[in-house]
A and B are shown apart, each in its own frame.
Chain A
């Protein structure tokens, strides 16, 4: 009952919702960079939202399914085929045992999520099934997938109907407004503990994502920013979403693999609800920061959770109506 890796893709790793109780040991949260898409993918195949799925970066893997399975692809728009049949995203697809799933380039967005019913079966380490790629533990062997890997799959909660060919349902989930894969996007940012000079410098220009970006952070190019107060700082905790300003004046927005503590000045924090769209930025795409206050940020987070809850209900209703899976 496994998933065989025929080709690994650019950077494919097992991820879930991350580690939330080991920061005092210097272990960052990690987990899916775009937690929204990863959750929806899991819900679509009948998994708990925090199950382990595959995070695919820019170019996907080729996989063989050694059992019949229901899969879903969310996040970036990705070229996907099952035994030569093109597969659409954001919906459940039933695949027969022995099927070859070929995932190509992400045409829009940076990270696609592949959920499989039953989830990827890997041991929990420090409270998470996700891969800590920087430190080399968790997920599958603490690393990105390689050709020849065989990943175990969990037992699906719902019985699988055996199919001879892929079956695709005629409905899908709309990721608006939680994702925005356009070339230029807006993200909402709370003030940080360090001020820029002038104070609104972070909001006054559009930034371009640099190619040196990864799961740890997005490096941004633009007119160099300056601090109001250039004294040395004592290192303080940072989180995904923290906007750091190194000496060169080019900000870095931390993503899922953020370290726990950082020494750079912190000039803002992107709100949790906007981390998914941030995680979908690719090199040379643009983004603009708009200021938000704490109350509206909290409301945006609550609204996103409410949308996820409605999506979960809608999927559960559809799945029982269709009696497909």
Chain B
């Protein structure tokens, strides 16, 4: 069942999505198997066999209708996480292009990216991939027409008005401006994802040596 709270990509609608998800998880009716929160909507995965009756989805729908009125002011279960980023050089091959596109110096582009306060709007595309809202509008840049065949794990990119982090190496079309040594996703970890939808993120600029030091400590 799709619960659509809006049709635009804005912070307030997104906050309501996460308030809704937090509240639903707290209620957790037995037939609610899982929730997929997105930008402006969330999908409830329903096990019809645990509801029974002639029209189980109608039962779920009616339950939801009675409950929805109370969600909007529910708190969001969110954490604040600092993500160290080594900007530019081989870690961020597109940083110079992003700065040129914005008409600013490279250091200024780094400063604008690192001073932003971001919200994890959703995790998707790949496990643990955060779509972050809050990018300085001057840094917005369309993604590459032809995606790169390989983007390194931890790469921080800009795709349109959003910024995100690639958890694993693989193909990708976002403009790469830096890389974090943190592991965003590890299926063996609990929880597997460093970030959760609704969390707030700050980037902290680090240099190559600090990147290598953190990286080694994770090996």
* Chain B residues with CB below 8 A from A294, complex form: 57
* Chain A residues with CB below 8 A from B8, complex form: 234
A26 with B193: CB separation less than 8 A = yes
The answer to whether the Cβ of A182 comes within 8 Å of any Cβ in the partner chain is: no
Other-chain residue from A138, A235, A239 in contact with B187 (beta carbon distance below 8 A): A138
Other-chain residue from B38, B56, B57, B191 in contact with A261 (beta carbon distance below 8 A): B38
Chain B min CB distance to A242 (Å): 10
The residue in chain A whose Cβ has the minimal distance to the Cβ of B33 is A20
> Given that A235-B124, A239-B43 are contacting pairs, would A25 and B168 also be in contact in the complex, using a CB cutoff of 8 Å?
no
* Chain B residues with CB below 8 A from A47, complex form: none
Distance between Cα atoms of A25 and B196 in the complex (Å) = 7
Chain A min CB distance to B69 (Å): 23
Most B Cβ at <10 Å: residue of A23, A24, A302:
A24
Chain B min CB distance to A109 (Å): 27
**Which of the 9-residue segments A5-13, A64-72, A128-136, A145-153 touches chain B?**
A128-136
B26-55 Cβ-contact flags toward A at 8 Å (1 or 0):
000000011111111111010011000001
A137 with B187: CB separation less than 8 A = yes
Other-chain residue from B35, B41, B48, B185 in contact with A24 (beta carbon distance below 8 A): B35
* Chain B residues with CB below 8 A from A27, complex form: 127, 187, 192
Distance between Cα atoms of A137 and B185 in the complex (Å) = 11
Distance between Cα atoms of A102 and B88 in the complex (Å) = 52
* Chain B residues with CB below 8 A from A24, complex form: 21, 34-37, 123, 196-197
- What's the tally of chain B residues with a CB closer than 8 Å to chain A? 40
- What's the tally of chain A residues with a CB closer than 8 Å to chain B? 32
Chain A min CB distance to B59 (Å): 11
Q: Which of B35-88 contact A (CB under 8 A)?
A: 35-43, 45, 48-49, 55-57
Distance between Cα atoms of A172 and B129 in the complex (Å) = 45
Chain B min CB distance to A300 (Å): 12
Distance between Cα atoms of A132 and B187 in the complex (Å) = 10
B187 with A125: CB separation less than 8 A = yes
B57 with A259: CB separation less than 8 A = no
Leading 10 A-B pairs by shortest Cβ distance: A261-B124, A237-B43, A137-B187, A26-B123, A237-B36, A25-B193, A23-B36, A27-B127, A26-B127, A26-B124
